[in-house]
Structure 1
Amino acid sequence: MEISELILRSNEIRENYHNLEIQNHSEKWTIEEDLLALSNDIGNLNRLVMTKFGRYYDETPYNLEQKLAENIWWLIELSSRLNVNIESELITFLEQKEQLLG
């Protein structure tokens, strides 16, 4: 699957969540609230990684793989809301790193 399709699907899913937010809270979450949700999910990811290596106990109802994917999804969502073309920025980032590392 191409990254452009992943971005499109991610944005469509987030739009459905925005509709639920409007339905339940009269407005969609702000960018700051989205970032807070990402921060929470990064904390859950950290706990899952620590659990994987026996440094924490498993208390989350998630698994490591789905939390990694969810964090990527949040980054795609935030890039969209911040008007950042994450696909082209990722390509630029990778090209710069490849050039730097030879």
Structure 2
Amino acid sequence: MDIKELAERSNGIRSRYHELEVKHHQSEWSIEEDLLALSNDIGNLNRLTMTKLARYYDETPYTLEQKLAENIWWLIELSNRLDIDIEAELEKFLTDKEKQLGL
């Protein structure tokens, strides 16, 4: 699966969540609320990573793999809401790093 397909599927899922937000809270989440959700998920990812490394105990109903994928989903969705072409930006980032490192 390429980044464009990931973005399209992510957008479809987020659209459905927006419908549920309007249904239950009369408005869609703001970008700031999306960022708060991402921050929470990053915390869960950190705890799950520490659990895998035997430095913490597992207290979440998620797996490390699920939470890592969800964090990527949030980043893709936030790039969409902020009108950022994440595929182009990743390409530029990787090209810059490859040049800096002589790859």
Please confirm whether the aligned pair reaches a TM-score higher than 0.5, indicating the same fold: yes
User: Partner letter of residue 94 of structure 1?
Assistant: L
Partner of 2:51: 51
In structure 2, how many angstroms separate the alpha carbons of the residues matched to 1:28 and 1:101? 42
Gaps of 5+ in 2: none
Aligned length: 102
- In the TM superposition, what is the alpha-carbon distance from 1:2 to its structure 2 partner? 1.2
Please show how residues 19-98 of structure 1 align to structure 2 within 5 Å: 19-98=19-98
Q: Which runs of 4+ in 1 moved over 3 A?
A: none
Structure 2 residue aligned with 1:16: 16
Q: CA deviation at 1:36?
A: 0.1
Identity rate of aligned residues, in percent? 71
Displacement of 1:70: 0.1
1:39-86 deviation per Cα after TM superposition (whole angstroms, max 9, x unaligned): 000000000000001100000000000000000000001111111110
RMSD: 0.5
List alignment gaps of at least 5 residues for structure 1. none
CA distance in 1, matches of 2:11, 2:99: 31
